Chain A
Amino acid sequence: MNTEVVNSYIPIYVKAFLLTLKIGWVGVVLAFILGIAGAFVLYFKLPVLSALTRAYVELFRNTPLLVQLFFIYYGLPVLGFKINAEVCGAVGLGLLGGSYMTESIRSGLDAVPKIQTESAVSLGMSRSQTFLSVILPQAFSISIPALVANVIFLLKETSVFSAISLMDLMFTAKDLIGLYYNTTESLFLLVVFYIIMLLPVSFAGSMIEKKMRFKMFGDGKHGI
């Protein structure tokens, strides 16, 4: 490996890295917003919206992001919806992530035993108090491992953005390999930057999982 080549490539990669990071995290935030909204719709069984949410979740969970992006980026402009590649990437990632987040948050809410609601009501708590201070915190701590896994999954999925010609890390690597044949250096930097992007998230995720486990009483199976 040629260190001079590596050094000269670093600024190009940093630029691509920042773009990937930006779109990735905007996508993750969008996914959380959609996921929370979707989970509430399903949990409270709102009419009509529930059916729509379920259809959305099934549709986006069972198709690859690459296909979704192609449809949004190349297919929709035909109908007059033109969006630029960056927005398309973030929206596509947000839509994909929203379907996963909806499932994870909803199953967290469902996992809180019914007796919790009944006990809260018998203590004289209102409906909103019960939901906000009894159900939600427990549901959240149950969902944490799944949410962390989703965030990591979404950040990894940013690697397909190059397909809609976004100048992300993958695109940069492919471009540099094609231009100068410095395959080893290009791939090395690609791996390094993905490690910088994901290793902290992975560690932070494991730590949050450990910290949040205190909310589970007993063996975490019956005593929640």
Chain B
Amino acid sequence: MGFEVLLKGKNPVRLLAGLGVALRISLISVVISILLGLIIGTLMTMKNPLIHAVSRIYLEIVRIMPQMVLLFIVFFGFTKMTGHNLSAEVSSVIVFSFWGTAEMADLVRGCLTSIPAIQYESSKALGLSRVQTYRYVIIPQIIRRLLPLSINLITRMIKTTSLIMMIGIVEVLKVGQQIIEANRKTSPHAAFGVFAAIFILYFLACWPISCLSKYLEKRWEN
């Protein structure tokens, strides 16, 4: 079945290191996305027509352009336009942050606008100051709604980073292909074992995070 190549030599370490490359890029992108998303999402709730128009266009671009296309535009297009070589890793962090920021900003905007006006009015009636209103009333509610959704964004980011092999980064899928190639003679069935293993590795990376997100969402439902 081809599972024997998985334990041969340094293969298990290499596969895990490959997954590590993908996870590192997704974590960097997630951190950037969440920080920028919080700022941009808050800006989007302003009633300024210019901000409104720009954010609409930004969200629509991200909504309809495949991440793969964006990756190609940044990786190949940037070099062509400026003559500077952008490394594949930097390009992927740029693209995934561009995409993740839009997703995060949309979540933040949704959460902020879903807080009913009565919450602000009641706080005022109770004599809370503006800072107190946010500190004790608004922000705790926002965190409860936002946290499960942002954790979910992490799994989506991890899944999306599998695309980086298409611009030549050696991550887990590429390592898998190399292992299959190297063992073509001795174990011709390696393709099944290696790709099944990668399938399970990705599942093990994402599933616990999905479960955490679902758990928090259920717990804070009301």
Any chain B CB within 8 A of the CB of A179?
Answer: no
Q: Which residues of chain A from 49 to 94 have any CB-CB distance to chain B below 8 Å in the complex?
A: 58-59, 61-68, 70-71, 74-79
**Which A residues are in CB contact (< 8 Å) with B66?**
156-159, 170, 194
Query: How far, in Å, is A8 (CB) from chain B's closest CB?
Result: 19
Chain A residues with CB under 8 Å of B202's CB are 62-64, 67
- A159–B67 Cα distance when bound, in Å, is 8
Tell me the complex Cα distance, A150–B173, Å. Answer: 25
Q: Which residues of B contact A158 (CB under 8 A)?
A: 66
A70 near B173 with CB under 8 A, answer yes
Cβ of A183: which chain B residues have Cβ within 8 Å of it? 76-77, 79-80
CB neighbours of B76 from chain A (8 A): 177, 183, 187
A198 with B64: in contact, given A67-B198, A70-B173, A78-B2 (CB under 8 Å)? yes
Q: Is the CB of A61 within 8 A of B210?
A: yes
Is there an interface contact between B162 and A156, defined as CB atoms closer than 8 Å? no
| Minimum CB distance partner of B207 in chain A | A62
* Segment touching A, from B8-16, B37-45, B189-197: B189-197
Chain B, residue nearest A197 (CB) = B64
Contacts of A64 in B (CB 8 A): 159-160, 162-163, 202
Shortest CB distance B10–A (Å): 22
Contact A63 B163 (CB under 8 A): no
Tell me the complex Cα distance, A169–B152, Å: 29
B72–A59 touching, CB < 8 Å = no
Cβ contacts under 8 Å, B194 to chain A:
75
A46 within 8 A of B: no
A170 to B77, CA, bound (A): 14
CA distance A195 to B61 in the complex (A): 9
Contacts of B72 in A (CB 8 A): 170, 173-174, 187, 190
Chain B, interface size: which category? Answer: 35 or more
Known: A67-B202, A170-B68. A74 touches B60 (CB 8 A): no
- Interface membership of chain A positions 160-174, coded 1 if the CB is closer than 8 angstroms to chain B and 0 otherwise: 101100000010011
Residues of A within 8 Å of B189, CB to CB, are 78
A134 CA / B176 CA spacing, docked (Å):
51
From the candidates A78, A159, A195, A199, name the one contacting B191 in the complex (CB within 8 A).
A78
Q: State the Cβ distance, B88 to closest chain A Cβ, in Å.
A: 14
Q: How far apart are the CA atoms of A66 and B163 in the complex, in Å? A: 7
Contacts of B79 in A (CB 8 A): 183
Q: Given the known A-B contacts A64-B160, A71-B199, A75-B191, are A194 and B207 also in contact in the complex, defined by CB atoms under 8 Å?
A: no
Closest chain B CB from A77 CB (angstroms): 8
Tell me the bound Cα distance from A79 to B3 in angstroms: 13
Chain A residues, Cβ within 8 Å of B67: 156, 159
Interchain CB contact (< 8 A) of B203 among A63, A75, A156, A191? A63
Cβ proximity bits B76-95 to A, threshold 8 Å, 1 near / 0 not: 11011100000000000000
B163 with A67: CB separation less than 8 A = no
27 contacts between A and B (CB under 8 A): A62-B155, A62-B207, A63-B202, A63-B206, A64-B163, A64-B202, A66-B165, A70-B195, A70-B198, A74-B180, A75-B192, A75-B195, A75-B196, A78-B188, A79-B1, A152-B63, A159-B68, A160-B163, A174-B72, A183-B77, A183-B79, A184-B77, A187-B72, A187-B76, A190-B69, A191-B65, A194-B66
Contacts A64-B162, A70-B173 known; 12 new A-B pairs at CB < 8 A: A64-B159, A65-B159, A78-B192, A79-B1, A152-B64, A156-B65, A159-B68, A159-B69, A187-B76, A190-B69, A194-B65, A199-B64
Q: Spell out A's residues near B (CB within 8 Å).
A: 58-59, 61-68, 70-71, 74-79, 152, 156-160, 162-163, 170, 173-174, 177, 183-184, 187, 190-191, 194-195, 198-199, 201-202
* Chain A to chain B: the 9 pairs with minimum beta-carbon distance, closest first: A159-B66, A159-B68, A64-B162, A75-B195, A198-B64, A62-B206, A78-B192, A64-B159, A183-B80
